[in-house]
Amino acid sequence: MIENEEAEMIILELEEKLAKTIAVLQEDYATIRAGKVNPHILDKIQCEAYGGMSQLRELGNFSVMEGNCLVVSLWDKSLLRAAEKAIKLANLGVNPTNDGKVIRLVFPPLTDERRRELDKQVRRMGEESKVAIRNCRREALDGYKKMKTNKEISEDEHALCEKEVEETVVKAMADLEKVIAAKEKEILTV
């Protein structure tokens, strides 16, 4: 256990950053369609509304019909054209149809080629998260190194701090690998 309060803060910040990194990856994965339609695929789409940009999810309701059709029902029907344009620009791989009341997005079944593309995207996003975790580890170790250089902690405390950082990072990497594996399995399952 680390006795130094400043050293303890570094490990707490590390744990918080690692948890945030994994949470961000999970949010990003929620926007990737894997077999079944998920309304979260529209979460990051911004739409021009009322003279500014707004999140599409703030302008209406989304619902899934028949497993492959996503229905976007806006509260203000005058925004349908702008929402349709924003969805087209998001390049989701489907063309929205606007009937004047709602926007429908009919998703075709994923082809093997598209599944492989999505798998590559998932792996790339996972690698970016691993890099972020390694950067967090480096920052924490640099903080401890600086404390040792300034004689704020002893050699033994420094070694203990490094060991705790490594244990924390190994646990976060294992959690991250589980998230990546689950999404890959979801994508590759027909």
Query: How is the chain split into domains, by residue range?
Result: 5-31+111-188, 39-106
- Asked whether 83 and 59 are in contact (CB, 8 A), the reply is yes
- Asked whether 180 and 152 are in contact (CB, 8 A), the reply is no
pLDDT at residue 1, rounded to an integer:
52
- Asked whether 70 and 39 are in contact (CB, 8 A), the reply is yes
| Number of residues in the chain | 190
Helices 112-149, 5-30: crossing angle, 10 deg rounding: 170
Helices 155-188, 112-149: crossing angle, 10 deg rounding: 170
Q: Note whether 5-31+111-188 and 39-106 share their fold.
A: no
Q: Is the pTM of this model over 0.75?
A: no
- Asked whether 99 and 122 are in contact (CB, 8 A), the reply is no
Spell out, as residue ranges, where the chain has pLDDT lower than 70: 1-3, 33-36, 190
Residue 160 is which amino acid? Answer: L
User: Coil, helix or strand for 80?
Assistant: helix
CATH number of this structure's domain 39-106, picked from the four choices 3.40.50.300, 3.30.1360.40, 2.40.30.10, 3.40.190.150: 3.30.1360.40
Could you give the CA distance from residue 146 to residue 154 in angstroms, rounded to a whole number? Answer: 12
pLDDT at residue 142, rounded to an integer:
93
CATH topology of domain 5-31+111-188: Topoisomerase I; Chain A, domain 4 (1.10.132)
User: Coil, helix or strand for 115?
Assistant: helix
Residue 159 is which amino acid? Answer: A
pLDDT at residue 129, rounded to an integer:
94
Angle among Cα 58, 33, 131 to the nearest 5 degrees reads 90
Sign of CA dihedral 168, 174, 175, 177: positive
pLDDT at residue 190, rounded to an integer:
62
